[in-house]
């Protein structure tokens, strides 16, 4: 039964009212979680001093170095971790330290500011920081972390500016409306341009940059950072941490530029903030710093990124990091400031306040009510060698306590955490509870996976429908594009391998595995070559597994090219000692032939396929259990196609359950799934017999940055040898807006770089090359080992970023080779 139907049946009958509206007795209001909570205690009011933030950026922009500098400044670590030295806290996996990249997101907790940096009337804040991967193969990791954040710091390389993957993670943050600030990093490097980076933010990220800090250059080297709002020096190059007394003695020589920057900042804020505009009307440009900071906080809180506060620094040399932490406290919101949480109940999405209120007022005896006491979302699972599985959660409502049963809405079962911890660098600090708005790690959960939703109910009873199916952003797992086959040496090794693969899939649901019972081989599928290399490294070094490994190959898909006829199947067998019978009818058609092109709320989307369950007589239309079992049967049948045993993709499967002919009385759940499974397989076999099964291959959107001298040969190679299509070629040094950008470069204020007066000498003085960006579409099969080939063509002076663009049908000679 749908959640809306439950609400309708529970309401007080009243003539002249719409049947689908909320009960009159409930009177839902548009409230945030703060409004629906119990009166705040001292511990709850501390939520205003919590910051849940993430670090997002292009690979190698300095995310991990920035995180390490934050930990060092806060006192959580005693030395400044270095990616090149392999001694970072957040990149703890051996492969992360070996390659110098972030593979797993890491969540750590620390306090800021330290007591010696507290301003008059200031407060110490708790910062929960998540360092996310920058490589495209781990984008699922980023997508799971972003929704639990209340704010984000986007790190930009001051030499390269806004790069391809920066735009992708920025768009993901835009989708989840996460408020953002930007750090222009690596300003200590030759060729760094703060001005170009600021312009890139406006033109490529489509947000008006607010320059909050200006680099203090001396002889083309950044010596310090000046805050535009307070007109003071906030960071200085040198060993160790910034000394506030020493900073107060420094006076920047470019006072006129600081005043100009402050005036421009206030002008832009007044266009978006009426409160500051009114103050400016009264006082002119003489506005207190605190009022400007409050205005920036208000202006970015909606997460639209119309205004983008920009800060400067060099994380490697610890320049500007402490002032960036101050900005996190000043500008990014607390959990209480964020919009109300939306949850999914069955196939419908509702504000959590409505679901919570209905759980308290449902029309059942008080002893049977499933009143929601706490709600949390699992955003990361990590297998710690000492503590076992650590389940990282963000609490949205109520309080989590250890040894309290928690309902897993995805797995429909209870689990009990043994301990609750907060991670501070290498220290694991046990805490008695986690309150709403906080982030922490649970131990002892046996089944919880990344993306699961955990709930606590009054009395720890099994929840009543529909409250057993409340979910926070169920994970949308992208289709795999590559796979590797492995075979254990012994039967004992096979059991250990399955357990390890289960753990890997818990940590990262975008990794999927299956067993071919005929060949006794396992197939591990993932998002790319690096993704699978990391998984293999984890299995061999962390789980100590020995197996024979095949090579990484492209994960082709199968599809139907013509609609199938409707096939009805009756499943009447004994399963697990339980007899029963069920039937259904199934038809499969290409998704492109979907008549109206729309997806109904009740449709289920998985791996690029849509499963639609219809109840012609509506007698079982509200039965979510039958709908779910029929969907599961169809999904399992689509996992292996009839032509290559590859997964099906871009199929619209319509399952029809007519109670007058398909219902044979009370039946075990497995019979419904088996009926749908057999019906789909029958339809696919007939399609293959009729030659209506095609093969799809993943086509990647490839972004290559290379010197102008080698750009011609790269384009020719992509087009003639790789079967790709070059879409666009851009000069990286030109200040040009992306398509659809609404920002005019003349409206952007950016302070001049120190070498601007010698523009023509810049390339010679800085030793930089004219770089071009090539954007193309290329089949993944031609790109698996392309980075090494590209290295020989560009002498190693290149950057390559790939992401799945689409799946295209393989035809002609390419199909024959398969």
- Report pLDDT digits (tens) over 470-504: 999 887 788 889 999 999 998 888 999 999 999 99
Torsion, Cα 621 622 623 625, to 10 degrees, reads: 110
Statement to judge: residues 66 and 142 lie in one domain: yes
Q: Same domain for 116 and 226?
A: yes
CATH number at residue 143: 3.40.50.300
211: tokens are 């320059």
For residue 37, being part of any structural domain is answered with no
Check whether residue 487 and residue 349 sit in a common domain.
Answer: no
396 with 413, same domain?
Answer: yes
The total number of residues shown for the chain amounts to 818
Q: Is residue 293 part of a domain?
A: no
How large is the average pLDDT for residues 325-342?
94
What mean pLDDT, rounded, does the chain reach? 84
Indicate whether 139 pLDDT > 80. Answer: no
Note whether 419 and 520 are same-domain residues. Answer: no
**Are 740 and 630 in the same domain?**
no
CATH code: domain of residue 527: 3.30.70.870
Looking at residue 571, what is its pLDDT? 96
Residue listed under structure tokens 């009011």: 45
For residue 581, the model assigns a pLDDT of 94
Backbone torsions φ then ψ of 808, nearest 5 degrees: -120, 145
Return d(Cα 220, Cα 393) in angstroms, integer: 45
Q: Is residue 41 part of a domain?
A: no
Q: Is the peptide bond before 747 cis (omega within 30 degrees of 0)?
A: no
DSSP readout, 589-625? EEGGG-SS----TT-EEETTEEEEEE-TTSTTTT-HH
In a domain, 527, yes or no: yes
**Domain interval for residue 588:** 562-691
Residue 621: its pLDDT value, please? Answer: 64
Domain end (from 691, 709, 732) = 691
Residue 687 pLDDT class (50, 70, 90 cuts): very high
Q: Does 145 have pLDDT greater than 60?
A: yes
- The answer on 358 and 401 residing in a single domain is yes
Residue 285: inside a domain:
no
Q: Same structural domain for residues 333 and 345?
A: no
The pLDDT-based confidence of 787 (bands split at 50, 70, 90) is confident
Distance, in Å, from the CA atom of 120 to the CA atom of 680, rounded to the nearest integer, reads 69
In a domain, 407, yes or no: yes
| Same domain as 394, residue 378 | yes
For residue 733, what pLDDT is reported?
A: 66
Task: Inform me whether the pLDDT recorded for 372 exceeds 80.
Answer: yes
pLDDT confidence bin for 97, thresholds 50/70/90: very low
Decide if 378 contacts 392 (C-beta within 8 A).
yes
Range from 138-152, 318-332, 557-571 carrying the lowest mean pLDDT: 138-152
Q: Residue 41: pLDDT above 50? A: no
Q: How many CB atoms are closer than 10 A to CB 757?
A: 8
pLDDT of 201 strictly over 60: yes
3-state DSSP assignment of residue 652: strand
pLDDT reported for residue 522: 95
CATH code at 361? 2.40.30.10
Average pLDDT over residues 382-394: 87
Residue 816's CB: how many other CB atoms inside 10 A? 8
> Do 200 and 160 share a domain, yes or no?
yes
Q: For residue 116, is pLDDT > 80?
A: yes
Task: Give the total number of structural domains in the chain.
Answer: 5
Residues 251-301: pLDDT tens digits? 999 999 999 999 999 999 999 999 999 999 998 878 999 999 999 999 999
User: Cis bond leading into 81, ω under 30°?
Assistant: no
Residues 115 and 179 reside in one and the same domain? yes
Q: Where in 193-345 does DSSP place strands (E)?
A: 208-211, 213-218, 221-227, 232-236, 307-312, 342-345
Q: What percent of the chain has pLDDT over 70?
A: 86
User: Are 457 and 549 members of one domain?
Assistant: no
554, 580, 595 - which closes a domain: 554
Tell me which of 427, 446, 471 is where a domain ends. Answer: 471
Which pLDDT belongs to residue 356?
Answer: 92
Per-residue pLDDT at 755: 64
Domain-located, residue 347: yes
- Is the pLDDT assigned to residue 732 strictly greater than 50? yes
Comparing 124-128, 207-211, 383-387, 500-504, the range with the smallest average pLDDT is 383-387
Q: Distance from first CA to last CA of the chain, Å, rounded?
A: 46
Residue 92 has pLDDT above 80, yes or no: no
Gap between the Cα atoms of 186 and 165, Å rounded: 17
Q: Is residue 279 part of a domain?
A: no
- CATH number of 598's domain: 3.30.230.10
């Amino acid at each position: 039964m749908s959640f809306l139907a439950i609400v309708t049946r529970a309401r007080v009958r009243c003539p002249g009212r719409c049947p689908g509206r909320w009960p009159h007795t409930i009177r839902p209001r548009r409230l945030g979680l703060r409004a629906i909570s119990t009166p705040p205690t001292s511990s709850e009011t501390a939520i205003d001093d919590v910051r849940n933030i993430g670090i997002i950026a292009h690979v190698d922009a300095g995310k991990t170095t920035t995180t390490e500098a934050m930990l060092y400044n806060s006192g959580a670590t005693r030395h400044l971790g270095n990616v090149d030295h392999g001694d970072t806290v957040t990149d703890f996996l051996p492969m992360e330290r070996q390659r110098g990249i972030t593979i797993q997101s890491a969540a750590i907790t620390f306090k800021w500011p330290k007591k010696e940096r507290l301003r008059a009337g200031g407060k110490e804040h708790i910062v929960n920081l998540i360092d996310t991967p920058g490589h495209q193969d781990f984008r699922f990791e980023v997508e799971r972390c972003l929704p639990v954040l209340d704010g984000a710091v986007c790190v930009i390389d001051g030499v390269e500016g806004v790069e391809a993957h920066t735009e992708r993670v920025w768009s993901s943050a835009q989708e989840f409306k996460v408020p953002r600030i930007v750090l222009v990093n690596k300003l200590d490097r030759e060729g760094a341009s703060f001005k170009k980076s600021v312009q890139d933010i406006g033109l490529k990220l489509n947000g008006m940059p607010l320059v909050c800090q200006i680099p203090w250059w001396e002889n083309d080297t950044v010596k310090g950072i000046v805050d535009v709002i307070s007109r003071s020096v906030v960071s200085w190059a040198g060993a160790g941490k910034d000394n506030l007394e020493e900073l107060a003695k420094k006076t920047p020589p470019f006072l006129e530029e600081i005043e100009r920057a402050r005036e421009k900042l206030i002008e832009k804020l007044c266009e978006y903030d009426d409160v500051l505009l009114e103050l400016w009307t009264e006082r002119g440009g003489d506005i207190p710093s605190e009022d400007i900071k409050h205005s920036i906080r208000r202006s970015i809180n909606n997460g639209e990124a119309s205004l983008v506060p920009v800060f400067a620094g060099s994380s490697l040399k610890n320049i500007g990091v402490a002032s960036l932490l101050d900005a996190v406290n000043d500008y990014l919101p607390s959990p209480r400031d964020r919009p109300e949480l939306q949850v999914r109940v069955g196939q419908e999405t509702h504000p959590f306040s409505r679901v919570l209120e209905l759980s308290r007022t449902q029309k059942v005896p008080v002893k049977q009510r499933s009143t929601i006491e706490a709600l949390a979302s699992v955003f990361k699972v990590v297998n710690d060698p000492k503590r076992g599985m650590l389940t990282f959660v963000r609490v949205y409502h109520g309080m989590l306590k250890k040894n309290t049963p928690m309902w897993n809405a995805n797995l429909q079962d209870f689990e009990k955490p043994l301990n609750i911890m907060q991670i501070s660098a290498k220290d694991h600090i046990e805490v008695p509870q986690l309150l709403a708005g906080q982030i922490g790690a649970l131990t002892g959960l046996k089944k919880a996976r990344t993306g699961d939703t955990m709930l606590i109910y009054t009395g720890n009873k099994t929840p009543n429908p529909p409250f057993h199916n409340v979910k926070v952003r169920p994970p949308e797992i992208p289709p795999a594009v590559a796979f590797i086959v492995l075979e254990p040496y012994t039967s004992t090794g096979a059991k250990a391998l399955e357990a390890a693969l289960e753990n890997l899939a818990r940590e990262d649901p975008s990794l999927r595995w299956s067993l071919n019972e005929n060949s006794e081989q396992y197939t591990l599928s993932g998002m790319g070559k690096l993704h699978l290399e990391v998984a293999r490294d984890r299995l061999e070094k962390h789980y100590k597994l020995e197996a024979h490994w095949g090579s990484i190959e492209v994960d082709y898909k199968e599809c139907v090219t013509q609609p199938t006829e409707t096939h009805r199947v009756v499943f009447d067998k004994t399963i697990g000692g339980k007899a029963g019978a069920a039937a259904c009818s199934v038809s499969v058609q290409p998704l492109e032939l979907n008549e109206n092109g729309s997806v109904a709320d009740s449709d289920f989307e998985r791996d690029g396929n849509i499963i639609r369950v219809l109840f012609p007589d509506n007698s079982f239309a509200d039965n979510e259990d039958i709908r779910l079992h029929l969907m599961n049967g169809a999904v399992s049948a689509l996992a292996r196609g009839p032509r290559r045993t590859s997964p099906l993709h871009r199929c619209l499967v319509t399952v029809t359950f007519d109670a007058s002919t398909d219902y044979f009385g009370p039946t075990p759940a497995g019979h419904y799934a088996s009926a749908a499974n057999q019906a789909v397989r029958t339809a696919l076999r007939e399609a293959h017999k009729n030659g209506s099964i095609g093969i799809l291959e993943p086509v990647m959107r490839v972004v290559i940055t290379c010197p102008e001298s080698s750009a011609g040969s790269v384009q020719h190679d992509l087009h003639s040898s790789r079967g790709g299509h070059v879409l666009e070629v851009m000069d990286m040094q030109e200040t040009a807006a992306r398509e659809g950008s609404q920002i005019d470069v003349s409206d952007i204020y950016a302070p001049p770089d120190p070498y601007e007066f010698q523009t023509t000498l810049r390339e010679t003085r800085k030793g930089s090359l004219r770089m071009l960006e090539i954007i193309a579409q290329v089949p993944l099969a031609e790109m698996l080992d392309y980075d090494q080939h590209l290295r020989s063509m560009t002498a190693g002076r290149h950057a390559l970023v790939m992401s799945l663009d689409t799946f295209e049908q393989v035809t002609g000679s390419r199909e024959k080779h398969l």
